[in-house]
């Protein structure tokens, strides 16, 4: 009995030791070999981040098509790309600016560093829009809800709303008005709205921003409550304006999208949709990678297979 236990423990330690040895030796001893193939990581074709990235690097056809990408690319979600680029020394991927951390290297785009400051001063070019869409006039659970939604949309365009968007990691559109200047147009905010619920949904990339916005706006508008249920950019339209879905239990009063509206979504009247902010996307590589600046063309060439090895960028 004891012997067996000792043997088991011994085996376990050996395995663990072997594991830790392999993982440290490979990362510290290997020098960077630019002749290795570039591993290309991407989000899937339905991702708003992918659309933003591909349009940003001038490779718009790759936003919805996998056929134009280099063969052997990998499809992963936001977190998985971050995780993969902390392992894969020869990989390239992209994530939204707010998720970049110290385990990967964010590449400069056209010589501009991927920082919030550079997004706000509009020098960093790789970004995507944050859009909103509301229900058609008169198509709300109550007029109070409709009026609060109108007030909320007005709030998005004020500098007060802009500050909230800024704090949540995105860049608001320029604004000259404050909420105090426009709140006179929204009498609904002077009454007690504590029993009123606004249903908010759409892109999950915008959830953080949207939650910050409703949290800040609630006390300014009679303490209404907001119910956030973010499921994806396509639901911004589907759950507010698609006749088949908008009146079901998942119907929403406000929907957000992290890409420009397209197709059937554009049939919605221009007065009930608009843009509230920009979000920046960053191309990322492994920390050991010597490359630190890329152009839109570099990224396009990596994603369409013109550049197969890192030497194409290192030996320029």
Partner 1 sequence: MEELLKWKEQMRSTKKNRITDKITQHIFLGTALLSASFIFIVVGIIFVQGIRPFVTDNQGLGSVNLWSFLTGDVWLIGATFASNLYSVGFIIVSTLFIALLSLLVSFPIGVLTALFIAKVAPKPLAKILRTVIETLAAIPSIVYGLFGAGIILQVVYDVSALFGYQSKGGNSIISVVLVLALMTIPTITAISEVAIRSVDKTIEHGSLALGASNTQTNFKVVLASAKSGIFTAAILGIGRTLGEATAVSLVAGGRRAGISFDIFDTTSTLTTIMLEGLKETTGLDYDIRFSVGLVLMAVILLTNLLLNSVKKRVGSVHVR
* 238 part of the interface to partner 1, by CB under 8 A: yes
Distance in angstroms (rounded) separating the CA atoms of residues 59 and 70: 12
- What span, in angstroms and rounded, lies between the C-alpha atoms of 155 and 224? 15
Give the shortest CB-169-to-partner 1 separation in angstroms.
20
CB of 215 to partner 1, least distance (A): 24
Q: Find residue 105's DSSP bridge partners.
A: 285
Whether 131 and 259 have beta carbons less than 8 Å apart is answered as yes
Are 281 and 126 contacting, i.e. CB atoms less than 8 angstroms apart?
yes
Give the residue among 119, 129, 127 at the shortest CA–CA distance from 274.
129
- Residue 302 found at the interface with partner 1 (CB under 8 A): no
Rounded-to-integer distance, Cα 208 and Cα 97, Å:
13
Least distance in Å: CB of 79 to partner 1? 9
Least separation, in Å, of the C-beta of 93 and partner 1?
A: 9
Which tokens belong to 200? 């908010």
Which H or E element spans position 93?
strand 91-96
**Residue with Cβ nearer partner 1 (238 or 273):** 238
Site string for partner 1, 122-161 (x = CB under 8 A): ----------------------------------------
Any contact of residue 263 with partner 1 (CB under 8 A)? yes
Q: Is 260 in the site for partner 1 (CB under 8 A)?
A: no
| Among the listed residues 66, 180, 227, 247, the single contact to partner 1 using CB under 8 A | 66
Shortest Å distance, C-beta 228 to partner 1: 15
Q: Which is nearer to partner 1, 39 or 218 (CB)?
A: 39
């Amino acid at each position: 009995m004891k012997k067996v236990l000792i043997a088991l423990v011994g085996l376990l330690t050996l395995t663990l030791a072997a594991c830790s040895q392999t993982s440290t030796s490979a990362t510290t001893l290997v020098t960077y070999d630019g002749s290795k193939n570039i591993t290309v990581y991407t989000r899937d074709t339905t991702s708003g981040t992918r659309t933003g990235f591909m349009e940003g690097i001038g490779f718009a056809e790759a936003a919805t098509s996998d056929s134009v990408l280099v063969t052997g690319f990998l499809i992963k979600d936001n977190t998985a790309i971050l995780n993969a680029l902390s392992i894969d020394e020869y990989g390239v991927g992209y994530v939204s600016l707010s998720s970049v951390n110290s385990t990967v290297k964010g590449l400069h785009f056209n010589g501009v560093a991927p920082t919030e400051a550079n997004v706000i001063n509009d020098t960093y070019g790789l970004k995507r829009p944050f859009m909103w869409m509301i229900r058609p006039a008169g198509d709300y659970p109550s007029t109070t809800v409709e009026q609060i939604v109108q007030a909320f949309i007005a709030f998005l365009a004020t500098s007060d709303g802009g500050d909230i968007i800024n704090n949540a990691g995105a860049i608001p559109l320029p604004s000259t008005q404050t909420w105090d200047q426009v709140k006179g147009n929204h009498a609904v905010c002077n009454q007690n709205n504590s029993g009123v619920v606004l249903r908010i949904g759409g892109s999950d990339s915008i959830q953080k921003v949207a939650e910050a916005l409703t949290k800040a706006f609630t006390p300014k508008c009679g303490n209404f409550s907001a119910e956030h249920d973010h499921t994806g950019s396509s639901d911004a339209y589907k759950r507010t304006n698609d006749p088949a879905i908008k009146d079901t239990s998942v119907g929403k009063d406000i929907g957000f999208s992290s890409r420009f509206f397209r197709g059937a979504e554009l049939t919605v009247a221009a007065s009930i949709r608009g843009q509230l902010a920009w979000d920046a996307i960053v191309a990322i590589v492994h920390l050991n990678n010597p490359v630190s600046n890329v152009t839109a063309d570099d990224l396009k060439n990596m994603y369409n297979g013109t550049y197969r090895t890192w030497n194409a960028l290192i030996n320029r």
